[in-house]
């Protein structure tokens, strides 16, 4: 079982240090500390274990060190920044694992960009040596890239020429869409195993600047000092940065403790999230419990409560549960989402969050909830929401319903079955396509999204159905049968076809760099990872590092 | 060898008839008239041969019958409109063929939408019976869909539940992006083998209306009459429609004659396009010859010249050459584009086209050129443009250079090597992403696109390089070696990785429904078409129609 819970004192591959408003995130991969057997992590190459630490570090910077305004990502290895994902690890991994690994590393890169975009922190990739493949993809997720000019160091995406696969972490898309490199140059760069060094890399827009070895550190320091002392347009939105600079003591972060999980054969229980496995039927019930009554409503109290505050803890637990399901339960194809608790309590929490969104901690909490919901959107499993009495699909938890492929709401006039919206449904949790889930739902009739907001109070089943908020509303007599048959039907379908179908239907409307990376690149990567030219006995990935050469079937498809 | 040249007198599966401003396109597939052995085209199911006729019919309506304002697509088979792509044909086809087949049918659907969007013709799908799979995808490419309400007929996308693959012709994307069907309903519909009948299909937005059997024909007739007599905002742009309605004789179309091709072992020659194969090296030279001097400049003269007019003929030939390369030369991975002729002559033709774009024929010719260029963008082969003395990469032919993955321009001060822009490069040939190729090229520096337009006269090699219009400009001494090595390197790479890489790099910037269909859906489809759950011995596609049942590996990826 792969554990996604970690903390800096357990890091093997990264060092995270802080000095006032500057965080230093330094890669120093220990080649024998691998997640599986059969490969060594040479030259700062990485496996999932390395990336779990990175994801944790970024999360901790946001919650534990809100005073940080610049993050320098660099390496402790001489002349090498990072050699990318470990090829032997990829070569010995199953298709499922490879795809999940790429998805998680993509999400970590997107989390860097999310921090930069929404929390105003600036990420600098200080490439003290060569950055190849995933190493360059990590750099390109940062805001600025600086490469040492030592006559040797280069940036490269050697996947196509060396391995017969694509850069797996959004590299091609970020090349032309984020850095907007000219496509013919991107073509040359992506087929050049050795990559490009300082001068030409800068000319082509692959890096922002290059400095000689002797001037490298001081140039990075200068740039960091510039960032820390400047006040960008964006920063003006963030009161705390200003406070910090004006001599008022820096904000105190809150500590993220490891989540407590109890597992048995068929269960996995966190404080607010439970999984109940029906593995013979290939589905799982995911139960999310709403907040208790009377949670604090001031930011001081919430700061004191720290990571035990429901929105933060419950969504961290949901995040961990989703990652567990992806990586450790590949045969579970369907997640039935159920909620338990009081709608009033959820709405009360949402009110607190909405009222205090200017506070740094509340902002980080809401952004984290949004990221977890996007992780759900991007999970290759079917989701059904099941709405019964005593459930609390309200406000932020109503997003779970909207994120589901379908929803079933019990229609029983003798019981209270309700859902409700809150202010947070109007924009706090954007999907990867930039729209709210309600906007995505009502592309044909945008008016319906406004009507749902304008609705007074809760929706009972018939109101929810009339408003287009649920898919089906079976009555009491049919309920058990309908749910059972729906589950059976869903889990009988081809899991591959469902993955492709869901990825196509979930993201209607506009596209963003994120949806391109997940929807397009992932799909191509999935395909190429299956092809004999990559993974067959004569494939390039299989033959990497061996004396034998790859033999291709040259038919173009 | 598959022949993409056909004419209505040779149609086996479609009937095309005209009555004033209305065209009737009627499907009546002959089950034994297949393109290959091993399957029968029952229930109006189709193979590539059927779709080649459809593509031809749409093209002919545009050129030969400009008076047409409404196209009714229907079927002659009782109670069945179209059962979609033939499953046995798919089951017995190679992966390469399946992917190429889907791409061509997609392009045909996009050609319908192109006609509707740019030439103001309205397409009505008159579903006199069930439309399933590709049958419904054909309907959804039309502007309006009407389904007979006979108690049996339904629309459906049964690919996921029955075959373990995705609808291969943009069905899922058009469902949520064009018809904007709510995603949970799209999910239900796409997993329901039997589909949905009239009332609910209408309620869910899958069709526009449903009529009883007795009223079906008259209702379609009424709607057609309404279209023909109305004057939409869009139509106001099209003078000829107005002329027609006002009693002035309808426009005369021009006849599209079959292209003349001469082939030998290593060559394929049209009038303006030649292919020179180097199959041992897996590349082909594609030579496009520019127009002769003194082509007509008035629309009357051009109308008289008809399909022999250079822009129409040369691009029809290019289109046929691209289709031939895709389907019949899968092992040729690289196309070296060369042009021969006078830059002045190309610019003179472009001037005529730009001046007369309000004329229906000129408009159709330019739209056709744009479609062919998009076909090139979407071809899964590498393209290098090679610019030498006596070439004519100017105006519309400059788009070939921009569409290429790279370009090489000879740098020899002793010879004239030039390229040039024309007014048509500013918007006449949009890519699938909605941008011009120059805009796509200069996403990082939009100013450079303006500078290129503002440039006086032609660009010699150093000017072209300075303006960012070419990738490399080797000098005379290095030229032969550089080109040879570039070709050798390109053709040595994994063809799968190149396909994925090119698809990712060619379409930076915004996304449209078309790029979603090609970039995303195609990629997913490619993947699923390779998976054992679809095409393995126990896969759903393999087992379709057999007494055995598909056996899935249920791991979710």
* pLDDT reported for residue B233: 47
| pLDDT (tens digit per residue) in B156-203 | 999 999 999 888 888 999 999 999 999 999 999 999 999 999 999 999
Nearest CB to B471 within list A166, A188, A553 = A188
What's the token pair of residue B28?
């009546």
> Does residue A242 carry a pLDDT above 80?
no
Q: What is the pLDDT of residue B554?
A: 87
Angle between helices A95-119 and A48-64 in degrees, nearest 10: 20
Partner-chain residue, chosen from A495, A506, A556, that has the shortest CB–CB distance to B533: A495
Partner-chain contact B205 A444, CB within 8 Å: yes
Minimal C-alpha gap between B500 and chain A (Å):
6
Q: How many CB atoms lie within 10 A of CB B299?
A: 16
Integer Cα distance of A261 and A289 in angstroms: 15
DSSP string, A435-467: S-HHHHHTSS-HHHHHHHHHS-S-EEHHHHHHT
Q: How confident is the model at residue A236 (pLDDT cuts 50, 70, 90)?
A: low
Mean pLDDT score, A314-321: 98
pLDDT tens, position by position, A443-466: 999 999 999 999 989 999 999 999
Subunit contact A177:B509, Cβ cutoff 8 A: yes
Task: Mark yes or no for CB contact B524/A500 under 8 Å.
Answer: yes
For residue A378, give the chain B residue with the closest CA. Answer: B557
pLDDT < 70: residue spans in chain B:
231-250
Chain B stretch 25-44, residues whose beta carbon is closer than 8 A to a beta carbon of chain A: none
Give the best residue of A180, A445, A554, A556 to mutate against chain B (max B CB count within 10 A).
A556
Among A residues 96-115, those touching chain B with beta carbons less than 8 Å apart: 96, 99-100
Mean pLDDT of the A508-534 span: 81
Give pLDDT, residue A210: 98
Nearest CB to A533 within list B185, B442, B496: B496
Task: Name residues 192-221 of chain B within 8 A of A (Cβ).
Answer: 205
pLDDT bracket for residue A238 (50, 70, 90): low
Rounded to two decimals, the ipTM of the complex is 0.92
Model pLDDT, residue A243:
43
Taking alpha carbons only, the member of B193, B380, B495, B104 closest to residue A494 is: B193
Tokens of A424: 């947070």
Using CA atoms, how far apart are residues B458 and B469, in angstroms rounded to an integer? 12
**Interface list for B 453-512 with A (CB within 8 A):** 468, 471, 489-491, 493-506, 508-511
Q: Which residues of B touch A555 (CB under 8 A)?
A: 96, 330-331, 495
Over range A519-543, report the average pLDDT. 82
Task: Provide the 10 A C-beta neighbour count for residue B234.
Answer: 14
HEC assignment per residue over A418-429: EEECCHHHHCCC
Which pLDDT band, with edges at 50, 70 and 90, does A250 fall under? low
Both structure tokens of A144 = 């600025």
DSSP state of B260: P
Distance from CA of B154 to the nearest CA of A (A): 20
Res A235: pLDDT = 53
To test the contact with chain B by mutation, choose from A385, A527, A538 the residue with the greatest count of B C-beta atoms within 10 A, namely A527
Mark yes or no for CB contact A497/B166 under 8 Å: yes
CA angle B203, B209, B213 (to 5 degrees): 120
**Contact status of B438 with chain A (Cβ, < 8 Å):** no
Is the CA virtual torsion A361, A362, A367, A369 positive or negative?
positive
B437–chain A Cβ distance below 8 A for any pair: no
- Distance (Å, rounded) from C-alpha B527 to C-alpha B522? 9
Interchain proximity A404–B184, CB inside 8 Å: yes
Instruction: Tell me whether residues B554 and A331 touch, CB distance under 8 A.
Output: yes
- The Cβ of residue B553 has, within 10 Å, a number of other Cβ atoms equal to 17
> A99 and B557 in contact by Cβ < 8 A?
yes
What residues 278-337 of chain A have any CB closer than 8 A to a CB of chain B? Answer: 282, 330-333
**Are B326 and B10 a contacting pair, CB within 8 Å?**
no
A170 interfacial to chain B (CB closer than 8 Å): no
pLDDT at residue A535, rounded to an integer: 86
Q: pLDDT tens across A207-229, in order?
A: 999 999 999 999 999 999 999 99
Residue in B289, B288, B265 with CA at minimum distance from that of residue B277 = B265
Assess whether pLDDT exceeds 80 at residue A170.
Answer: yes
The pair of three-digit structure tokens given for residue B199, joined into one six-digit string? 């009332």
- Tell me, what's the pLDDT at B197? 97
Residues B13-51: pLDDT tens digits?
999 999 999 999 999 999 999 999 999 999 999 999 999
Q: What is the mean pLDDT of chain A?
A: 93
Distance CA B532, CA A347 (A): 47
Contacts of B503 in chain A (CB under 8 A): 520, 524
3-state secondary structure of B226: helix
Task: Determine the Cα–Cα distance for residues A99 and A93; give it in Å rounded to an integer.
Answer: 10
Across the interface, whether the CB atoms of B501 and A190 are under 8 A apart is answered yes
Q: What is the 3-state secondary structure (H, E, C) of B169-219?
A: CCHHHHHHHHCCCCHHHHHHHHCCCCCEEHHHHHHCCCCCEEEEHHHHHHH
Q: How far is A516 from chain B (nearest CA, A)?
A: 8
* DSSP state, residue B458: -
Structural Rg of chain B based on CA atoms:
24
Task: Give A-chain residues touching B533 at CB under 8 angstroms.
Answer: 494-497
Query: Within the 369-428 window of chain A, which residues sit less than 8 Å (CB to CB) from chain B?
Result: 380-381, 404-407
pLDDT in tens, A119-134: 999 999 999 999 999 9
CB pairs under 8 A between A and B: 281
Q: Which two tokens stand for residue B418?
A: 């030039």
Residue A449 touches chain B, beta carbons under 8 Å: no
Predicted confidence (pLDDT) at residue A348 exceeds the cutoff of 70: yes
CB B263 within 8 A of CB B321: no
Nearest CA distance, B33 vs chain A (angstrom): 26
What pLDDT, on the 0 to 100 scale, is given for residue A523? 78
Q: In angstroms, what is the C-alpha Rg of chain A?
A: 24
Q: Do A520 and B525 count as a contact with CB atoms less than 8 A apart?
A: no
Cβ(A490)–Cβ(A427) under 8 Å? no
Residue A241 has pLDDT above 60, yes or no: no
Q: Percent of chain A having pLDDT more than 70?
A: 96
Closest CA to B170 of B502, B513, B499: B513
Nearest residue in chain B measured CA to CA from A496: B528
A504 with B531: Cβ contact below 8 A: no
Highest mean pLDDT among A526-535, A538-547, B194-203: B194-203
Predicted confidence at residue B231, as pLDDT, reads 65
Token couple for B314:
């040369």
Residues shown for chain B? 557
pLDDT at B199: 95
Beta bridge partners of B431: none
Select the more confidently predicted residue: A548 or A300: A300
Question: pLDDT tens for residues B246-256?
Answer: 455 568 999 99
CB-CB: which of B163, B172, B534 is closest to A505?
B172
- As a whole number of angstroms, the distance between CA B378 and CA B380 comes to 6
Distance CA A204, CA A182 (A): 8
Using the predicted structure, report yes or no on whether residue A81 has a pLDDT greater than 50. yes
- What pLDDT, on a 0 to 100 scale, did the predictor assign at position B244? 47
CB contact under 8 A, A381 and B556: yes
Q: What is the pTM of this model?
A: 0.94
Instruction: Residue B51: name the closest of B99, B6, B118, B116 by CA.
Output: B6
User: Which pair of structure tokens corresponds to residue A226?
Assistant: 């510039």
Which of the residue ranges A432-436, A471-475, A541-545, B170-174 has the most confident prediction, judged by mean pLDDT?
A: A471-475
User: Inter-chain contact B552–A494, Cβ cutoff 8 Å?
Assistant: yes
Q: Do B183 and A503 touch (CB under 8 A)?
A: no
Q: Which of A180, A331, A440 lies closest to B555 in CB terms?
A: A331
């Amino acid at each position: 079982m792969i554990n996604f819970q970690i903390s800096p004192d357990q890091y093997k591959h990264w060092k995270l240090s802080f000095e006032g408003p500057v965080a230093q995130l330094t890669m120093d991969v220990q080649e024998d500390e691998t997640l599986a057997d059969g490969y060594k992590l040479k030259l700062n190459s990485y496996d999932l274990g390395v990336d779990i630490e990175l994801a944790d570090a970024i999360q901790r910077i946001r919650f534990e060190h809100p005073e940080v305004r610049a993050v320098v990502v660099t390496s402790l290895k001489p002349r090498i920044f990072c050699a990318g994902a470990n090829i032997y690890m990829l070569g010995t991994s199953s298709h499922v694992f490879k795809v999940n690994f790429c998805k998680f590393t993509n999400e970590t890169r997107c989390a860097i960009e999310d921090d930069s975009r929404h929390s105003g922190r600036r990420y600098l990739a200080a490439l003290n040596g060569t950055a190849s493949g995933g190493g360059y993809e990590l750099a390109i997720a940062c805001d600025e890239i600086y490469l040492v000019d030592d006559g040797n160091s280069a940036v490269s995406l050697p996947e196509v020429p060396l391995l017969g696969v694509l850069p797996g972490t959004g590299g091609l898309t970020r090349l032309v869409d984020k850095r907007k490199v000219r496509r013919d140059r991107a073509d040359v760069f992506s087929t050049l195993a050795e990559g490009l060094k300082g001068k030409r890399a800068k000319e082509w827009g692959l890096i922002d600047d290059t400095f000689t070895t002797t001037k490298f550190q001081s140039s990075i320091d200068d740039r960091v000092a510039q960032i820390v002392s400047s006040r960008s347009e964006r920063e003006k939105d963030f009161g705390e940065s200003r406070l910090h600079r004006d001599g008022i003591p820096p904000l105190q972060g809150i500590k993220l403790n490891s989540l407590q999980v109890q597992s048995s054969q068929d269960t996995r229980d966190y404080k607010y999230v439970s999984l109940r496995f029906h593995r013979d039927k290939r589905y799982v019930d995911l139960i999310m419990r709403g907040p208790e009554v009377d949670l604090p409503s001031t930011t001081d109290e919430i700061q004191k409560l720290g990571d035990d505050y429901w929105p933060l803890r419950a969504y961290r637990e949901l995040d961990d549960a989703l990652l567990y399901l992806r990586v450790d339960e590949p045969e579970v194809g369907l997640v039935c989402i159920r909620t338990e608790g009081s709608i009033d309590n959820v709405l009360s929490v949402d009110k607190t969050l909405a009222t205090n969104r200017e506070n740094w901690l509340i902002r980080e909490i809401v952004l984290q909830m949004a990221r977890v919901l996007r992780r759900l959107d991007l999970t290759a499993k079917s989701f059904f929401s099941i709405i019964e009495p005593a459930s609390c699909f309200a406000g932020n938890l109503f997003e779970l319903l909207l994120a589901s492929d379908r929803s079933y709401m019990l229609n029983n006039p003798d019981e209270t079955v309700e859902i409700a919206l809150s202010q947070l449904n109007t924009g706090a949790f954007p999907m990867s396509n930039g729209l709210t889930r309600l906007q995505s739902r009502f592309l044909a009739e945008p008016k319906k999204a406004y009507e749902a907001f304008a609705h007074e109070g809760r929706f009972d089943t018939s109101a929810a159905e009339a408003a287009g908020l649920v898919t089906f509303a079976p009555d009491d007599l049919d309920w058990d049968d309908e749910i059972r048959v729906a589950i059976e039907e869903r889990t009988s379908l081809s899991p591959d076809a469902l993955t492709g179908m869901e990825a196509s239907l979930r993201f209607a409307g506009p596209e963003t760099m994120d949806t391109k990376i997940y929807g397009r690149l992932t799909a191509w990567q999935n395909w190429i990872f299956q092809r004999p030219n990559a993974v067959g006995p004569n494939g390039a990935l299989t033959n990497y590092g061996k004396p034998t050469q790859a033999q291709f079937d040259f038919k173009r498809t």
